[in-house]
Amino acid sequence: MTQADTPFPAMIVEETADGRFTRRIGTKTVSELPDGEVLIKVHYSSLNYKDALSATGNRGVTRRFPHTPGIDAAGEVARSSSNDFQVGDAVLVTGYDLGMNTSGGFGRYIRVPAAWVVPMPGGLTFQQSMVFGTAGFTAGLSILKLEQAGILPGDGEILVTGASGGVGSLAVAILAGSGYSVVAASGKPQARELLTTLGAKEVLDRAAVTDPKNKPLLPGRFTGVIDTVGGDILSFAIRSTRYGGTVTCCGNAASAELHITVYPFILRGISLIGIDSAECPMKTRRAVWNRLAADWKIAHMKRICAEIELAELDQRIAAILEGRLTGRCVVRLP
């Protein structure tokens, strides 16, 4: 049984007296963790854009410091006061408040409400579940919304923006593996080969998915869009979607602004669907994870993912903030 004074390694982000933020790998004890029904010994976490914001003091993500980021965690139950989980169960947690104002997966232990915990679906190892993590879950949720809108393989081209990023690369791989015709848009020429390997039939340069003239409608090409970047690229995507098509929107890596007229909606019947992975209801959450472990499991996990230790996180955080990271990065806890 894990004791309250059990020490464990964790990334600790602190605010200095002059308002700067520093991060180091230090030691915490289980008693420092917030209350919760389930104590989890974390085996793997993963790096997402939100973690980098938390690790650099973004108050929109994390209000209180010192703090341990990590919005994703996979591991085994170390202690439980919930009838739903027993010691030794393999589980994962993504989203809710984990890693925001609740000590997160960049530490060996987390303690969370039972309502946040997902039983590990059969078919996924701890490591594989974190190759997906919040990014894969968000890609899966976006694809589920396209399916629910009636868009099926063979119906036409699906555009994925920010395609070399975590959500984008997993969306490309899952869609292509499911038989969809995928067009990837990326700002990284060096990611072209990876995206083609993942199954994109065409890779567009970022410049090709913007429209300097800002016309209300562009030639309708895409049946569906998974947008991860927002801003002018999301605007382009909506205006380039065919009659009756569906666009999902999950991110703001380019911009949180969206300048658009109503014409794509009232002349082409386009639907714009917002994606939120953090508070997604448990029924949908489990359904998406079960798909990720089954028909959405991807063939190229090793190609898409780097595995690092806590001490290597620092440089990866800088890289993801600068848009330099390709694919996914899982973190192995010692």
Which residues of the chain form contacts with ligand NDP (CB under 6 A)?
48-50, 134-135, 138, 162-168, 186-188, 191, 206, 228-229, 233, 250-254, 275-278, 320, 323, 325
For residue 177, CA distances in Å to 102, 182, 187 come to 35, 10, 23
CB of 271 to ligand NDP, least distance (A): 17
CB of 289 to ligand NDP, least distance (A): 15
Name the closest residue to ligand NDP (Cβ). Answer: 165
Which CB sits closer to ligand NDP, 187 or 199? 187
Kind plus residue range of the DSSP H or E element containing 287: helix 282-292
Kind plus residue range of the DSSP H or E element containing 273: strand 271-274
Which CB sits closer to ligand NDP, 42 or 325? 325
Which CB sits closer to ligand NDP, 55 or 135? 135
Which CB sits closer to ligand NDP, 99 or 168? 168
CB of 191 to ligand NDP, least distance (A): 6
- At 206, list the tokens: 């970022």
CB of 184 to ligand NDP, least distance (A): 8
- Burial code (b: 16+ CB inside 10 Å, e: under 16) for 279-304 equals ebeeeebeebbbbbbeebbbebbeeb
Which CB sits closer to ligand NDP, 33 or 135? 135
CB of 284 to ligand NDP, least distance (A): 12
Exposed / middle / buried, residue 212 (Cβ in 10 Å: 0-12, 13-18, 19+): exposed
Provide φ and ψ at 34, rounded to 5°.
Answer: -65, 165
Which CB sits closer to ligand NDP, 38 or 325? 325
Which CB sits closer to ligand NDP, 9 or 199? 199
Q: How many CB atoms lie within 10 A of CB 276?
A: 10
Report yes or no: 100 and 67 within 8 Å, Cβ to Cβ: no
Report yes or no: 67 and 55 within 8 Å, Cβ to Cβ: no
CB of 163 to ligand NDP, least distance (A): 5
Report yes or no: 72 and 134 within 8 Å, Cβ to Cβ: yes
Task: Tell me how far apart the alpha carbons of residues 37 and 111 are, in angstroms, rounded to a whole number.
Answer: 7
CB of 136 to ligand NDP, least distance (A): 10
Which CB sits closer to ligand NDP, 30 or 100? 100
Which CB sits closer to ligand NDP, 252 or 271? 252
Query: Three-state DSSP class for 123?
Result: coil
E-strand ranges in 196-240 read: 202-205, 222-227
CB of 11 to ligand NDP, least distance (A): 18
Residue 100 sits at the vertex; the CA angle it makes with 5 and 332, to the nearest 5 degrees, is 60
Looking at residue 329, its amino acid is C
CB of 87 to ligand NDP, least distance (A): 31
Q: Provide the sign of the torsion angle of the four alpha carbons 161, 163, 168, 172, taken in this order.
A: positive
